[in-house]
Structure 1
C-alpha cells in the first residue's frame, strides 16, 4: 500500500497519448493506407524511421531505426516522407479539443499531454470516454489514456493497453502493480542509470523496492530520493500550465546509436520545423539556438549561437542548427540529440521593436 493521506482528496491526472501519431495522420489523410504496414521517415536509404504504425511494428520496425534496416524487416511496407507542418496542424486541432475538457493542461510534446481534472468533479472514466470519442469523431485519431493520482503513474498507465486503451492506477494498486515492470519504466532513470542498476543485478521495480533510500542516493545522486519515492507511488510534480517560457526545446533518444550524418540531419530538419511551429503557436521569436548531443558513452556536448535578429522560421533555425552540428565531431555514435530555442521575445514586442527602429 502506498503512503497516501486517506483524508486528503487525491488529484485526478490524465496522461493522453496519441497512438502512432504521424502514421495515424497519414492514414487519416489517405484511408487506403489503413491496415497496411506504414512507415514514416526520411526519403533516402540512409534516412531514419520517425514513426511506424502498429502493423509495421509486428515486423520489428520501430522509431529511430535506420530506414535500410526497416526495409529489410518489412520489404512490403509502405514508406512515406514525414510532413511536419501537417502533423503540427492536426496536433493543434487535438489540443483545442483537450482544452475543452480542462484548462489545467501541460503539453509534453506534439502528441502527448497531462490534464488535471480534479476540479471538475467528474467521474474520470466517463470523461475519458467522452474525450476519446470527441477526438476520434473530429480528427479520426485514437488516444491511449492513463488515469491516476500523479503524473508518473498516469504516464505509466497510458502505455498499458496501446493502442486506444484506458488504464487507471489507484493507490491500493501501488506498489504491487509496479513490482514486475522493468526499471526503464521509471521516469528519471535514463539509459546510463539503467545500465548501472542492471550491472548490479537489478532489473525490475521490485528489485528497486528492496533498496534503501540512502543506497539509491549514494548510487544515483539527488535523483535517487525521487526514484525511491516514485516507485512507491509518490510524485508531487504539478500539471504545469502557466509557467513563463524561457526556452522551447525538442529532444529525442535513439534506440540505437548512429554516426550517420544524413540520418542526424534528417532529425535536425524535423526538429527545426517542430520548433518553428511551437514558436509560432505561442507567438514567440527566438534569438539563441542551442544544439545538444549525447554519445553512447553518455558524453554530452552542446553548441549555441545567438543571432543578430530574433526568428521563428524553420529554414533559419535549421541553417543555424546544421551549422552547429557540422562543428561537432562524431567520434562515437549518438544516442540523443536535442534542439532548443531561447532568448525568447513575444510577437508584440518583436513588432514594436521593428517599428521603433
Structure 2
C-alpha cells in the first residue's frame, strides 16, 4: 500500500479505492496522484482542498514534456478536485488546456507481411543458452494476437485454466477496462496452442507458473517478447519506422479489427449492426472506440464498402486517440 505524506493523502487513498471499486485499474491515475501528493508535501499545503496557487503550480509545463502528458496531469488533478467538492470540501478545479490532437495512425499489416512474420517467428533460434528466454512461446503468441485481437498484456496474463482447448475459447480476465470476456477461437489456433503446450510440457521445469505463456524457466513472459518481435520484423524485412510509429506488437490488434471489418463487409454483413459484437470481442469501453476501425477499413478497402453510406461514418464522434496499449 502506498504511503501518502501530504494533507491530501487520506482523500487520495479514498479516491483511488473508489475508482477501483468501479472497475478501473487506475494505474496511470495512481502514479499521477502520488506525484500530486509529493508536490503538496514539498510546498507544505495546509488546506484540505486544492488551492488555485497549487493547481497553477501543478499545471506548469515541464521541460521536454509533451502537450498530451501535461493535459493528462491536469485532467487527473481536476478529477480529484471535483471529488473533493463532492465531499463538501471547497477545492479549486483547474481549467483543462486544449486536448492535443493525435496524428497517430496504426500500422495495418498486409497478409503477405503476416505470413512473413510467422515464418520469421518459426525460424527464431537462440544464439546461446538462456534459461529465461521467451523464445518458446513467440510463434504461438504472435498467431494468437493476430487471430484474436487481444492486447499483449491480456495475452501474457492468460492462465492455463483460462485457455480452454477442448471447447475452443479464452477467458480474458485481466483486461484494460476491467471487463471479463469470452473469446471464441478457431480450430487452427487451437491446434497451434496445443502444439505449443505439448513442447512447453517437455521443458525440464520443476515449478512452472500458472500462466499459459512462459519462458524456459517456467515463469510468466515479460518485456523480452517485444525484443523478439522486433527481431521478427527485421527478419521479415518489415522496417520499423521509429519509436511510437510502428510497426508494433499492438498493431496486430489493429490489423485484426480492420481485417474483421473487411471480412464482414465482403460477406455482406451490415458493419454498424456488427459494431457492438466487435466492440465486445475487443473489450472496448464503448462502441465509439470501435468506430474508428470503420474509417480505417473504408480507407484501406474502398471497393468492399462502396455501398456503405459515407454519412454513416460520422454516426459516432471521431475518437481522438487510438489505443496505445
Shared fold, TM over 0.5: no
Structure (1 or 2) with the greater helix fraction: 2
Structure (1 or 2) with the greater strand fraction: 1
TM range (shorter): under 0.3
TM-score by length of 1: 0.25
TM-score by length of 2: 0.27
